[in-house]
Structure 1
């Protein structure tokens, strides 16, 4: 398995796991209150921060193992990475537009922050999934 494919798997797992932890923390923090009154900012910041750190650590780990194995990224890896990133970025745009619409509708900050976070997670998962599919089935 190529270094970049391993990294894509790791980033997808990290994104899903981090978001699952965030959702559980927010739901537990609600404790019977309406969801918009749940404390979410701390959980949001910590899960994002830990996700970033986990992504960096996994990238370093896979980079070290790839160098020890004599593997380096080639043109195919760069193309797959670029196309996967472009596909994943679609959800960043969807998140931005959705957050803007919620802000114009004067929705609570809770919903604006959560739609942005969800779209960032979906962007990471979709981009990683696209890279994995490109590695497994090839690019069209």
Structure 2
């Protein structure tokens, strides 16, 4: 497995964990009450920060293990990696645009700030998840 594929897997794994952790924290904080009463900002910021740190740690640890097995190819990349990265980026951007449009619609409709912020968070999370899936599929099946 090449360096960029390991990073894609790390991001994919952490995206799933981040979405689940944030949802659990918000639901637990709501305690069966209204979701809009939850103090969501600290939860969101800590979850995002934790996701970033976890992605870096997982990528580094996985890289160390891969480097012990095959030091020559542990960090090499080629044109295929660049093309797969671009594909994943295009997929991610399309989902971010959709999330942005939904956020604009929510703002126009006068939605509660909770729903606006969480829609954007979910848009970022889903774009990372779908982009990671696209990258992993491209590594496994090749670019078409």
Instruction: Provide TM-score, normalisation by structure 2.
Output: 0.89
Aligned structure 1 segments of 4 or more residues deviating by more than 6 angstroms: none
Question: CA RMSD for the aligned pairs?
Answer: 1.5
Equivalent residue, structure 2, for 1:57 = 57
CA shift for structure 1 position 76 = 0.7
Question: Does 1:35 pair with 2:27?
Answer: no
Question: Does 1:112 pair with 2:77?
Answer: no
In the aligned structure 1, how far is the partner of 2:3 from the partner of 2:83? Answer: 14
1:92 aligned to which of 91, 96, 107? 96
Equivalent residue, structure 2, for 1:126 = 130
Equivalent residue, structure 2, for 1:136 = 140
Equivalent residue, structure 2, for 1:78 = 82
Equivalent residue, structure 1, for 2:15 = 15
Asked whether the 8 Å contact 1:3–1:62 carries over to 2, the reply is no
In the aligned structure 1, how far is the partner of 2:59 from the partner of 2:79? Answer: 19
What is the aligned residue count? 140
In the aligned structure 1, how far is the partner of 2:80 from the partner of 2:66? Answer: 16
| Structure 1 runs not aligned, ≥5 long | none
Asked whether the 8 Å contact 2:22–2:43 carries over to 1, the reply is yes
CA shift for structure 1 position 63 = 4.5
Q: What SS does the aligned partner of 1:123 have? A: helix
Asked whether the 8 Å contact 2:92–2:130 carries over to 1, the reply is yes
| Structure 2 runs not aligned, ≥5 long | none
Moved more, 48-57 or 65-74: 65-74
Q: What SS does the aligned partner of 2:122 have? A: helix
Q: What SS does the aligned partner of 1:107 have? A: coil
Instruction: Provide TM-score, normalisation by structure 1.
Output: 0.92
